[in-house]
Amino acid sequence: MATIHVDGRDYEVDGADNLLHACLSLGLDIPYFCWHPAMGSVGACRQCAVKQYKDADDHQGMLVMSCMAPVQDDAYISIEDDEAKAFRANVIEWLMINHPHDCPVCEEGGHCHLQDMTVMTGHDSRRYRFRKRTHQNQDLGPFIGHEMNRCITCYRCVRFYNDYAGGGDLGAFGAHDNVYFGRFQEGTLESPFSGNLTEVCPTGVFTDQTHSEHYTRKWDLQFAPSVCHQCAVGCNISPGERYGDIRRIENRYHGEVNHYFLCDRGRFGYGYVNREDRPRVPEWRERQRVDAGAGAAGVVGGTISLEIDDALDRAADGLRNARRVIGIGSPRASLESNHMLRTLVGDANFSTGIGARELELLVRMNELNTRSGLPSPSLREIERCDAVLVLGEDLINSAARMALAIRQAVNAKGEALAAERGIPSWNAEAVKTLAQEAHHPFFLATLDATELDALAEQTYHAAPDDIARLGFAVAHYIDPEAPCPEALDDATTGLAQRIAEALLAAQRPLVVSGGSLGTPAVLEAAGNVACALARRTRPGALSLVRREANSTGLSLLGGQSLDWALECLTSGEADGVVILENDLYARVDAGQADAALQRANCIVTLDHQRTATWDRADVGLPAASFAESDGTLISLEGRAQRFYQVFDPSYIRPETRIRESWRWLNALKASVERQAVTPLTLDEVTWDVAETYPALAPAGDAGLSAAYRVHGLRLAREPHRYSGRTAMRANLDVSEPRAPQDPDTPFAFSMEGYAGYAEPRREVAFAWAPGWNSPQAWNKFQDEVGGHLRAGDPGVRLLGPLPGDYDYARTLPPRFVARDAQWLAVPQARLFGGDETSARAEPIQARMAETRFTVSRGTAERLRMSPGAPLTLHLGERRLTLPVAVSEAWPDGVIGVPDQSGLSLAAPEWAHLERQEVSA
């Protein structure tokens, strides 16, 4: 700690910080541009100048850039000094020389850091009277808009994109007052983290193009704290709504999970909420049994829209008439909704909606996380690990935000080296210079080459069983008691020994694996490594990747597999089914789903998307998406987090009958039981979940109860400048209805309520503080800039390690041997298109690469195929034809089948391949 004297007041600060970091953390305002809490200092913009004095008697002082000035004990500083103030105003004046002053038509306006800083410095009249320099803009793809004239050349974009996120196609070109930030030629930005440019850029150069399509000022958006539903990482998001549509998704700061950054799937994948074809009223599909000719689906018939009561009655009738009703839950729905389904159908009739193979892996992951001795880390904890082994996960595709965290962990070697030479970790360029290509030990075993390969000390591209064998060998070389695979070749043995040494030498080794390959052996291998490390009394972490937003939650909640449910229906054991937010056709092959649904006498489905399953239901109940509902999810870290309803869908669309699934299910249960519906609140369901499932008990505290108040006030969903509330519905009805009431959360559908930062709170709908309209306002909510929210970061962790010995897995797979006429088909995760809901969003569709099989060069040559040629894969009765992609890294004898490609593959299976002749 150090004491600094700022404008006559004394403060205790961390002596390892720079002055800017220290002062901002104290709540003092110093304007800045090039500095970013996650990216350190580079001293480029000169905006954060303050006066520093030698001692108490020095009245002259000199200007220093606070971001580049280390905190010194007993330092005398002035932010308010006239010379410093004048210089800071001048810096703004220079930055504005070529800036177009187009705030009224600029999408950044209203949440613009440049606007905020301009106001903060007091610069208000320009003296520059000459021509401005102008630039041409580029088409950077479906996500990011580009308007270079607004650029103030702070270099944050390239520092984030290249240095932080490892991108390679955004650069700084030119020199002097003609620096251009763009691509060497027009084209889609390649990085899966490009969306962060919209928040990293302090002005309107890089803007969210999906937002442009239906633009709304920040102050006119209604927000709620939410959690991304597009994968299992659990990034916190702040979706903004206007006129019943989600207009954009901004990062919501979480000190342990996503910090300041999201992946592009999460940021730009919200379009499914706004789809025109979403079911918004209950539907009844008339059944006309047709003779089972031509193998067609068993029903045809008209669809009619229903009112709520009618829909509930018909659904209840159908379910009452069934001999046995089962429920199929969903890993993309909340704990609350799944729980209500389970309550409706009974424990014995509840399926998690997850395939048997995947469910087995998920349950095993929970066991490993609690019983291997190594805890499941948050992303921030991952960033502090100093040796990493990844077994089987292509993280950019299966958990992109985690890949970004691992990049920081591996690159942190530079900070360690810098510390040895007395260079502070915040001195970003100096750390980078010293680090060069130095990385913490990082080993990556995957099928294909991945974007993280460049950081790895060594990569290992092999078939799933061989990846597992490498992992088992590593465990063995850490602890000889762990079994060693037989017939290991010398190269693999050498690699395993190197990895074992690196993990043992580390202070905080990290093991990452997961379910993407559908191979239990890979998971067991990771478990053995974790256990071996734990036995050697090493602190460390074991991170296991799950696929969907609530995969962890469903596996903890428990229930039968989807395979069981389908078998129940197909065999006729059950003839009624309630399907919750789950498209069976996205999980199993169409034939399997058809066979099950065909025999059901009553199918009730709840979803917010018009899926193939929805189209097969007798009664469809329009469910709320994440944006219109509240609930709890459990991330792959084991963190239970609450997402809050952003808007009431019926306010702008009164005809809408969308309800939260858990509300529908409560009403349906009452209808089935011929009871009057008792109103239910979220808190009641959440508490019920916590009481019912011991493993989920802490999840009851994941969010704020509806009774929470700050100074007796609810929390506001709308900024206090929110405009037009009384006019928004004027085209529907001149009398303004009462603002929607929210019985479930402490948030109000209104600008009335607490929205400040002075009172610490965990759940922040939107970051705003006086003078801070941009996302940089998060500074004001943190214990120190870039640290944790002052009230603690949202969520509670469920997967703490339990004490006790964990036994090694002792069933080790033999070496993978390629077959003559068969190939091992292996599932392949993909960022864009691999997730059911975001794949329904247009901008994501624009980024979805052509769906292809992946084979090795050797396979392609054996089949005499060149890239792009069509290939048919046969799995028993099932078949799929796709073009092939040829990868140099890919192992022989294996073929990659991308997720959501039309053929569902839960685990590796042997397949036949058939080359398709291309007709000339």
Under the criterion CB under 8 A, does residue 122 sit at the interface with another protein?
no
Among 82, 130, 487, 876, which residue interacts with another protein (rule: CB under 8 A)?
130
Distance CA 191, CA 602 (A): 46
Spatial neighbors of 186 by CB under 8 A, at least 6 apart, are: 138, 139, 140
Under the criterion CB under 8 A, does residue 46 sit at the interface with another protein?
yes
**Beta carbons within 10 angstroms of residue 914's beta carbon:** 13
Q: How far is the CB of 40 from another protein (least distance, A)?
A: 11
Distance CA 276, CA 255 (A): 36
For helices 520-535 and 356-371, what crossing angle results, to 10°?
0
Pull the structure tokens for residue 43. 């001293």
Under the criterion CB under 8 A, does residue 68 sit at the interface with another protein?
yes
* Dihedral sign, Cα of residue 594, residue 596, residue 598, residue 603: negative
Under the criterion CB under 8 A, does residue 184 sit at the interface with another protein?
no
Spatial neighbors of 713 by CB under 8 A, at least 6 apart, are: 752, 753, 754
Under the criterion CB under 8 A, does residue 436 sit at the interface with another protein?
yes
Residue list 460-479, contact with another protein (CB under 8 A): none
Under the criterion CB under 8 A, does residue 117 sit at the interface with another protein?
no
Under the criterion CB under 8 A, does residue 94 sit at the interface with another protein?
yes
- Distance, CA of 793 to chain centre: 16
Cβ closer to another protein: 98 or 601? Answer: 98
Beta partners for residue 633, in sequence order: 641
Q: How far is the CB of 193 from another protein (least distance, A)?
A: 22
Under the criterion CB under 8 A, does residue 64 sit at the interface with another protein?
yes
Cβ closer to another protein: 172 or 504? Answer: 172
Among 27, 122, 168, 174, which residue interacts with another protein (rule: CB under 8 A)?
174
Pull the structure tokens for residue 317. 């009738």
Distance CA 757, CA 767 (A): 8
Under the criterion CB under 8 A, does residue 687 sit at the interface with another protein?
no
Under the criterion CB under 8 A, does residue 421 sit at the interface with another protein?
yes
Cβ closer to another protein: 435 or 710? Answer: 435
Report helix, strand and coil shares of the chain as percent, to nearest 5. 30, 20, 50
Q: How far is the CB of 434 from another protein (least distance, A)?
A: 4
Distance CA 265, CA 274 (A): 16
Report the Cα–Cα distance between both ends of the chain, in Å, rounded: 76
**Beta carbons within 10 angstroms of residue 766's beta carbon:** 24
How many binding residues for another protein (CB under 8 A)?
A: 45
Among 129, 674, 738, 864, which residue interacts with another protein (rule: CB under 8 A)?
129
Under the criterion CB under 8 A, does residue 693 sit at the interface with another protein?
no
Cβ closer to another protein: 132 or 214? Answer: 132
What SS3 class is residue 708? coil
Under the criterion CB under 8 A, does residue 670 sit at the interface with another protein?
no
Under the criterion CB under 8 A, does residue 430 sit at the interface with another protein?
yes
Among the residue ranges 247-255, 268-276, 425-433, 793-801, the one whose residues contact another protein (CB under 8 A): 425-433
Cβ closer to another protein: 421 or 738? Answer: 421
DSSP string for 197-230: HHHHSSSSSEEEHHHHTT---GGG-EE--EE--S
Cβ closer to another protein: 172 or 791? Answer: 172
Under the criterion CB under 8 A, does residue 106 sit at the interface with another protein?
no
Q: How far is the CB of 260 from another protein (least distance, A)?
A: 23
Cβ closer to another protein: 164 or 664? Answer: 164
Task: For the chain, count helices (H), then strands (E).
Answer: 27, 38
Under the criterion CB under 8 A, does residue 43 sit at the interface with another protein?
yes
Q: How far is the CB of 505 from another protein (least distance, A)?
A: 17
Spatial neighbors of 109 by CB under 8 A, at least 6 apart, are: 103, 115, 204, 217
- Distance, CA of 271 to chain centre: 15
Under the criterion CB under 8 A, does residue 161 sit at the interface with another protein?
no
Under the criterion CB under 8 A, does residue 505 sit at the interface with another protein?
no
Pull the structure tokens for residue 202. 């302090």
Under the criterion CB under 8 A, does residue 809 sit at the interface with another protein?
no
Under the criterion CB under 8 A, does residue 172 sit at the interface with another protein?
yes
Distance CA 351, CA 882 (A): 32
Among 128, 184, 215, 910, which residue interacts with another protein (rule: CB under 8 A)?
128
H-helix or E-strand spanning residue 599: helix 590-599
Cβ closer to another protein: 421 or 711? Answer: 421
Q: Which residues bind another protein (CB under 8 A)?
A: 42-47, 49, 62-64, 68, 87, 90-91, 94-95, 97-98, 127-130, 152-153, 155, 172, 174-179, 417, 420-423, 427, 429-430, 433-436, 438
